[in-house]
Amino acid sequence: MEKPITNLQKFYARPYHDVNSPFGVDERGAFAEYIVHDPNNMPSLAMGATALISDRRENQDLWIACRVAGLKIISPFNPEKQSMLYLQDQKYDVNEVLKPLDELNGPHTHQPMIIRVELLREMLSDESSSNGFISSAIQRPPSAVSKLIFPNVTKVENDPSPSLEQILNIREQGLELGMIGFGNAPYETDNKFLTYRWDIENLDNKHVFIVGESGSGKTVLLKNLAYQIRKRNKKDRVILTDVQGDISQLLFWDFVDAHGKGNILEPKLAWQRKVSRETKEDAKKHLEPFQLVIPKIKNDEKDEDLVRLKRLANNRGVIVKEISLRLQDLSNPSDVEYLFRITSEQAPGLLDDVAESLRSRSEKPTIERLDAALNRLLGNNSGSTIVLPTSGVSYYRSTYEAARRALNNLKRYFDIDSDAIKTDQNPLNVFEFKGTTILYLDHLNQDERLMWEMQLVKWLYENKKEMSNTYVFFDEAHQIIPAKPNSFGSPGVFERLRSNFEKLAREGRKFRINLILSTQNPKDLHEIVPEQCPTRIVMKINPKNAKYAFLDDGLEYIANSFGQGQFWIQSPFNGTPDWIRVHSIAPPLPHEPMESFRKSLELKALKEK
């Protein structure tokens, strides 16, 4: 197991340039190269790591924050730039004058390394600034006497250089997402870590975009976000869509897995065990009260896992609400054209016209009334075409028959609860619940999940004033707002789906409705999602997918080898416009593999019969 990196000693690297290849700054960016003769003296040296260049300008100490963008070993006997051959690394001392060696003694036992860094910003000491430094854009390249060092993790007395905490502008308060460290373990000083805090209290746009492959730890991160949000403020609502059944584990804190071990996620790594955390009982109190919302579908009693879930949740005092959607709450029947299962291109328009006709007579366009209206028109007309009286539009008889088949297919999804049809209350009003709501979707197929999630998006937008201070988690977001409309019927349907999301993303945040969107397939996600989410988190990901997650060049190969729970985060409005590597803590929350969890459901159900 890798030992966490302790407070960093200040060894330095010298500029690796000469008159033929000077440092430069242009519109393409600013890069510089430094040479270190013994890389082992720099324990924090890693791709993506934040480094610091010490320089002077106009008799004032200047610091340049930078990021390691490339590493290359060279032979000490065949350097690319001859003037660098005899430079020797020593412990950093700003008062020391470096003297070249007069002669080369003995065989070399180390290989020099070239460190290529991307220059990010200049920093000057300023006591009036909140973190002691003011930052500005790179205006000039570092000089030939500059030195590359790695900063202290936290501020050290009598050291004028900015610490890593100051460079990254880490907030003093906020949700604790993990510990910072650019290697395979976080930085550690005296059993203390540099915590990355996401200060949602002072963020105008709290939308988050998360990318992570299966097994990356994405679900645990989502659970931890929900837990941290509720811990910070119990008045904030949390709504989690559960498309795979693993989120619903939050309802069961007394389960044991098939091996007889507690299913609370105990810390697996040595450094995680040094981080103080709450008990599972305290964590549960933050998330409570719980509500489980289950979409009704026909024949759901055949899903044994669902039956067990409902019964065991009830036994634990969880509020369980089974609801079905009503066709009358849609803007138009064609909004769910992808559920029609017909080939007629005119039938959706016909259903919209008939629904509008019913509304004009103050009748609700239920499936039963739409079907009766179509049946009546078919019975009263014998020709091959039938004119709709209210609009004067003529449709083929076959279109009317196709519309009836579409309505028959919709009976699986809509108007299942006859009592709900008679009330003025939208069944989705259950999401006004002030606590943690889990919308369970694991028993639905992909089209059904899309329908429920998009209706939730639409309902949230229509009730945005009443739903302030709400955090809504959508897993597998590429299914809600996909990049291509191939499977959504006519282009108009796709545009309405995209428009619903865009309106909620743009306007909902003004009313403090905040979206946390996660996906395994960023290439299948519409570009509007990352555009609306300034905070981006990238967990383990295939390099080919990295460009769709907007991860900077050179970092995708690191993300490809991430362990569970490691991620890059970029949150400009949280003061961190550069990608930062974070190691997740182990929150005291229920989580186990779904196969084991289903076994736990079965065992508990047998005991509690």
pLDDT for 327-340, tens place per residue?
999 988 988 888 88
Over residues 538-561, the pLDDT tens digits come to 999 998 888 888 888 889 989 999
Binning pLDDT at 50, 70 and 90, where does residue 487 land?
A: low
Do 491 and 443 share a domain, yes or no? yes
Burial of 273 (0-12, 13-18, 19+ CB in 10 A): exposed
**Taking residues 592-599, what's their average pLDDT?**
85
Tell me the mean pLDDT in the region 215-244. 94
Tell me what the mean pLDDT of segment 384-395 comes to: 87
Q: Report d(CA 225, CA 202) in Å as an integer.
A: 17
Overall average pLDDT of the 411-421 stretch:
89
User: Minimum mean pLDDT among 362-376, 479-493, 547-561: which range?
Assistant: 479-493
Lowest mean pLDDT among 41-50, 247-256, 492-501: 492-501
362 and 427, same domain (yes or no): no
Among 20-24, 240-244, 434-438, 598-602, the range scoring the smallest mean pLDDT is 20-24
Q: Which residue has the higher pLDDT, 26 or 227?
A: 227
Same-domain check for residues 118 and 36: yes
Total tally of structural domains belonging to the chain: 3
* pLDDT number for residue 11: 85
513, 493: one domain: yes
Are 489 and 447 contacting, i.e. CB atoms less than 8 angstroms apart?
Answer: no
Between 349 and 479, whose confidence is greater? 349
Same domain, 231 and 304: yes
261-294 tens-digit pLDDT: 554 567 888 898 898 889 889 999 999 999 999 9
Q: What is the CATH number of the domain that holds 472?
A: 3.40.50.300
Statement to judge: residues 335 and 430 lie in one domain: no
Q: Is the pLDDT of residue 1 over 60?
A: no
- Give the count of beta carbons closer than 10 Å to the beta carbon of residue 194: 21
Residue 127 lies in a domain: yes
Per-residue confidence (pLDDT) for residue 76, from 0 to 100:
62
The residue out of 364, 388, 410 marking a domain boundary is 410
Q: Is residue 577 part of a domain?
A: no
Shared domain check, 79 and 19: yes
138 is in which domain, residue-wise?
A: 14-167
Comparing C-alpha atoms, which of 11, 49, 12 is closest to residue 34? 12
The 8-class DSSP code of residue 361 comes to T
Q: How confident is the model at residue 259 (pLDDT cuts 50, 70, 90)?
A: very low
pLDDT at site 256: 58
Whether 440 maps to a domain, the answer reads yes
Is the confidence at residue 7, as pLDDT, over 60? no
Q: Is there a single domain that holds both residue 344 and residue 226?
A: no
> In what side-by-side order are the strands of the sheet with 175-180?
195-198, 175-180, 576-583, 566-571, 535-538, 208-211, 513-519, 470-474, 237-242, 436-440, 290-295, 319-323
- CA 464, distance to chain mean position in Å, is 22
Report pLDDT for 95: 44
Q: Is residue 387 part of a domain?
A: yes
pLDDT of residue 525: 84
pTM of the model: 0.88
pLDDT of residue 82: 52
